[in-house]
Amino acid sequence: MDKKKKRLIFRSIVLAILAGTLVFVLIVNAGSERPSLQEGVEAPNFKLDRLDQEGESIELHDLRGQGVMVNFWATYCEPCKEEMPYMDQLYEEYQDQGIEIVAVSVDRNESVINNFYNRLDLTFPSTHDRNNTVMELYEVVNLPASFFIRPDGTIERIVRGPVTLESLEGYFNEIRPQ
């Protein structure tokens, strides 16, 4: 009967709206917890002043065409300091192949960064994220954290924790321009 059909349609619509609202709420809720930075998405742009070259700054966007490793570290983080020599060792070799390293220190004082840099005689660009804005932008909580960015500006790999010499070489080969 017509009436029966109407009733079924009405009930179906009400139930569908309620179920839809529930699914929507659950998705919104789940989305608020998941970090939005994932492998495959475009790496957010930033511009930081260089500590190793007075008056110079480095903007991620300008490095398009190169494979970029963005490394978050601090002098009070022991594992960060241990992976620095590996980065330096490979930098000499891979810089000519189109790999750039940006070390972003989240320390408070420039002097501690410079002290460490000079002591190890590191050659790749050193920057200082004074107010931790870039760190928050990249949703970094624990140090060290490294982002390997393809020449087209998208993230190839996120490494939370230290890298080894071997693994680092593998990551560099992933983002090396062809």
Partner 1 sequence: MSDQSIRCECGHLNKEGTILCEACGKPIEGNQHIDGNDEKHVLEMRYEGSARRSQTYKRTFVDKTWAFFSSVKVGVWLIVITVVLSALGTVYPQEQFKNSPLPSSQFYVEEYGLTGQIFYQLGFHNMYSSWWYITLVALIGVSIIIASIDRYVPLRRALNNQKTKRHEVFVKRQRLVSKDNELNEDGVNKLKENLKSRRYKVYEDDGHVMAEKNRFSRWGPYVNHIGLIIILLASIFRMFEVMHVDDYVWVREGETRVIPSTNQEYYVENTGFVYEEYDPETQQQFSRALEDVDEPVPKNFQTNAVIYRTTEETLPGQEPELEEVTRGEIRLNQPVTFDGYALYQAGTQLEAEYDSMSFDVQLNDEVLGEFTFYSDEAPPEFHLEESDIMVSVDDWYPELEFTENGPSSFSKFPRNPGLIFSVENPDTGDSERFFYLQEDIIPLSEDNELVMNVTGVDRRSASGLTVKKDNTLPLFGLGAGIFMIGVVQGLYWYHRRVWIHPKGEGVYHIGVHTNKNWYGMKQELEKITEDTNVQEFEDQQELK
**Helix 78-94 with 110-120: angle, nearest 10 deg:** 50
Our finding on whether 37 is near partner 1 (CB under 8 A) is no
Count of residues that interact with partner 1, criterion CB under 8 A: 46
CA 64 to chain centre: 15
Are 160 and 142 in contact, with CB atoms under 8 Å apart? Answer: yes
Residue 63 CB contacts under 8 Å (≥ 6 apart), including other chains: 100, 102, 149
Our finding on whether 29 is near partner 1 (CB under 8 A) is yes
CA dist., res. 156 & res. 148, Å (int):
6
Our finding on whether 3 is near partner 1 (CB under 8 A) is yes
Site string for partner 1, 108-127 (x = CB under 8 A): xxxxx-xx-----------x
CB of 114 to partner 1, least distance (A): 7
Q: How far is CA 28 from CA 1, 21, 25, 139, in A?
A: 41, 11, 5, 19
Interface residue with partner 1 among 76, 161, 164, 173 (CB under 8 A) is 76
Interface ranges with partner 1 (CB under 8 A) = 1, 3-4, 7-8, 11-12, 14-15, 18, 21-22, 25-26, 28-30, 32-33, 44-48, 59, 74-76, 78, 106-112, 114-115, 127, 129-131, 133-134, 136-137
